[in-house]
């Protein structure tokens, strides 16, 4: 799971792409800011997150994710940094 991405519009690393997550169509992906506010939530991960919350570009910062594959394994958690 990548720990950083650069959503600056140059077409390179503009979204948080998670390799092979499409193999878990019922997974949940949740991303929170440093205060614990949800900034992204999905069931499945059909479209990669681009560092946007309610149409607003999020600032450079570290965010925190919880990914539950819904296959009986322990959820994955960690940090993701937006770099511009």
Reported as a single tens digit per residue, the pLDDT across 40-60 is 999 999 999 999 999 999 999
Predicted pLDDT of residue 50 = 97
What average pLDDT does the structure give for the chain? 97
CA 84 – CA 75 distance, rounded (Å): 28
Reported as a single tens digit per residue, the pLDDT across 12-26 is 999 999 999 999 999
CA 84 – CA 77 distance, rounded (Å): 23
The two beta strands, 61-68 and 28-32, are antiparallel
Predicted pLDDT of residue 40 = 98
Q: Is the dihedral of CA 74, 43, 46, 26 positive or negative?
A: positive
């Amino acid at each position: 799971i990548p720990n950083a991405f650069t959503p600056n519009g140059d077409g390179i690393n503009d979204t948080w792409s998670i390799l092979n997550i499409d193999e878990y169509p019922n997974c949940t992906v949740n991303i929170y800011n440093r205060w614990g506010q949800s900034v992204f939530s999905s069931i499945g991960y059909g479209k990669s997150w681009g560092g946007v919350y309610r149409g607003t570009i999020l600032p450079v910062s570290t965010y925190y994710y919880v990914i539950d594959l819904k296959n009986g394994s322990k959820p994955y958690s960690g940090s993701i940094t937006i770099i511009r």
